[in-house]
Structure 1
Amino acid sequence: MLTRATAVNRLSKCCGLPKFQPWSREFSKRAVFKYQRIAAVNGFSRCYSTEQQNQSSDFGSSGPQDGSSSNYTNTSDKGITEEEFQIKLQILKASLNHVNTKGWSIDALKAGASDLSLSESIASLCTAYDLVEYFQRYSNHELDNYLRGLEKKDKSLYSSVENRLKFVVPVIDRYHEAMAISLEPVNVPRSLQVLRDLADIICIHGLGDTSTDLRWYTKRTGIVSLYVATECCMVQDKSEGFQETWNFLQRRVKDYEFCERFGASALPAVEASVTTLLNIIGMNRKR
C-alpha cells in the first residue's frame, strides 16, 4: 500500500516540492513551471465519448446504479472490438465494489470480473488507471445530470463542488492511491482531460457561464484550482462529516468570487498549476 510518506518522497524527488498544506498560500514557482511544461507537451485533446450502461452495482449510495451512464473510453480502446469494450465497461463498473478492500488495482479488477462470472484473466483488458478514470468520469457525468436538473436559483459554485466531492466519500480511505496512479506519465493527459471536463460542467451547468472571451480560460483555471485544492484537503480531513473540508471550500469560493469581481486572475492561475500537479501526484491523503 502506498503510504503518505512514500507519496511525499516521490513528489520531492520529482520536482523538489516542500510539504504541501492545502490551506497555505506558499507556492513553489518550480512546481508551476513543471506543471505548465506537462500541460504544454501533452495538451488537452478530447478522446472520450458517452456510453450507456445498465449493469447494476452495489457501490454504496453514491455509486453507479441501474440505468446510469458514464463517459468512458480512451485511445487504447481502438484496438479492441465493441464486444470487448462493453465487457471492459462492465468489469470496471463491478470492480468499484472492491476498491475499498483491494485498492485501485488489478486485484480489484479480477474481483470485478469474477462477480460477472468471467475469467479473471479477462481483467487484463483494463488497467488500474482505467478504473480510476472510470470512477472520475462517472462522478463527473452524474454531477452533470444533477446540475442540469436544478433550478437556476439553486445552482452555485459551492454546491457544484460539494456534490462532486461527495462521490469521493465512499472510497476516501483509498483515494490517495488513485491520485498516485494518476501521476504516471502515460496517464497525465487523461488526468488533465478529466479536470478540464469537470471545469466545463461546473462553468456551463453550475454557473450558467457561456462566455467565449478570454475569461473562458481564467474561470476554468480558477475552478480547477478550487476543486483540486479542496480535494487535497478532503483526503486528509479527519473531522466529523468532513466539516473542515466544507469550511475550506467556503473560503475558497469566497476567494474565487473576489477574484472574479475584481479581475484578479493571477492567484487562481498559480494555485491551479500547483494544486493540480499535487492532486495528480496524490499527496496529503488521510492516514
Structure 2
Amino acid sequence: MEQENSMESAKSRVLAAALPHAAFDGWSQTTLQAALTDSQVAPALAKALFPRGGVDLAVAYHQAGDHAMREALRATDLSEIRYTARVALAIKLRLQAADRELVRRGSALFSLPQHAPEGARLIWATADAIWTALGDSSTDVNWYTKRATLSAVYAATVLFWLGDESEDSAETSAFLDRRLENVMQFEKTKTAIGENPLAKALLKGPLSLLDRLRAPKTKADLPGHSDR
C-alpha cells in the first residue's frame, strides 16, 4: 500500500508539472521530459507510470478531471435538484475542472486513428463516473444505454465548449440544456413506442435478447476502463 501511495504521489507530481508545458507542446514526450525535470521524478519510475509517454500523461489528466468532478458532486446537496438538472450540473462541474487549451490538445491527440479507441474509452468512463456519482442503480440494458447516450451528449458539449467565447460559458450551458432536452424527448418517445402492441411483441420476441445484458460487475469489466 505504501508503495502504491508513493507511485500515485509521483504520478500526481509529474502531471502537475506537465500542465504548463502541455499547453505549448501538447501531450507529448517533450512535455513529459520537461515534467520529469521539474518534478525530479526518476525516468525509470516515469516509465512505469507513463509507459506510452505523452498519451498516458493525457489519460492521467482526463482521469484527474473525472476525480475532481466526483469530489465536487459529493460536496453538493442534490436533494432539491431534479434529475436532469443533476446530470447537467455534473457535466458543468466536469468542464470547470478542465483547462480549455489542455483539453483542446487532448482532443487533437485522441482524434488520431491510433489513439481514437483510447479517447472513446475515456469519454465512456466519464459518463460512467457521472451516472455512478448520481446513484444510478440500473443493472440491465439501461446501464449501457444511459452511458452511451450521455457519452454522446458529453462529447458534443465538450466540442462546443472548446469554441465557446461567451461569458462564463453561457452558450455552452444553453447548448447542454438543449441536448439534454432532446434526450428527454427521445425517452418519452421510447416509452410511448414501448406501449405499442407491436413493440411489446418484439420485446417478447427477437429483442428479448436485450434482457440478457447485464452491467459489468467490476471496474475491470467496465467498457470504458483503461488499466494503463
2:115 match: secondary structure: helix
The residue that corresponds to 1:59 in the other structure is none
Q: Compute the TM-score of the two structures, normalised by the length of structure 1.
A: 0.55
Contact 2:14 2:41 in 1 (8 A): no
The residue that corresponds to 2:27 in the other structure is 104
> Does 1:253 find its partner at 2:166?
no
Per-residue deviation, 1:219: 1.2
Which AA in structure 2 matches 1:115?
A: D
Per-residue deviation, 1:254: 1.3
Q: Percent identity?
A: 27
> Does 1:216 find its partner at 2:216?
no
Per-residue deviation, 1:109: 1.5
Alpha-carbon distance between aligned partners in 2 of 1:117 and 1:262, rounded to the nearest angstrom: 57
> Does 1:128 find its partner at 2:68?
no
Per-residue deviation, 1:195: 1.9
> Does 1:226 find its partner at 2:156?
no
RMSD: 2.8
The residue that corresponds to 2:127 in the other structure is 199
Per-residue deviation, 1:183: 2.9
State the structure with bigger RCO (CA 8 A, min sep 6), 1 or 2: 1
> Does 1:162 find its partner at 2:88?
no
Per-residue deviation, 1:136: 0.5
Alpha-carbon distance between aligned partners in 2 of 1:198 and 1:135, rounded to the nearest angstrom: 12
Instruction: Structure 1: state its 5+ residue gaps.
Output: 1-50, 54-82, 265-287
What is the CA deviation profile of residues 218-238 of structure 1, one whole-angstrom value per residue up to 9, with x for unaligned ones? 111111111000000011112
Which AA in structure 2 matches 1:247?
A: A
Which AA in structure 1 matches 2:28?
A: S
The residue that corresponds to 1:113 in the other structure is 36
What is the CA deviation profile of residues 18-53 of structure 1, one whole-angstrom value per residue up to 9, with x for unaligned ones? xxxxxxxxxxxxxxxxxxxxxxxxxxxxxxxxx657
Q: 1:103 to 1:243 in 2, by over 3 A?
A: same
Instruction: Structure 2: state its 5+ residue gaps.
Output: 192-228
1:210 match: secondary structure: coil
The residue that corresponds to 1:243 in the other structure is 170
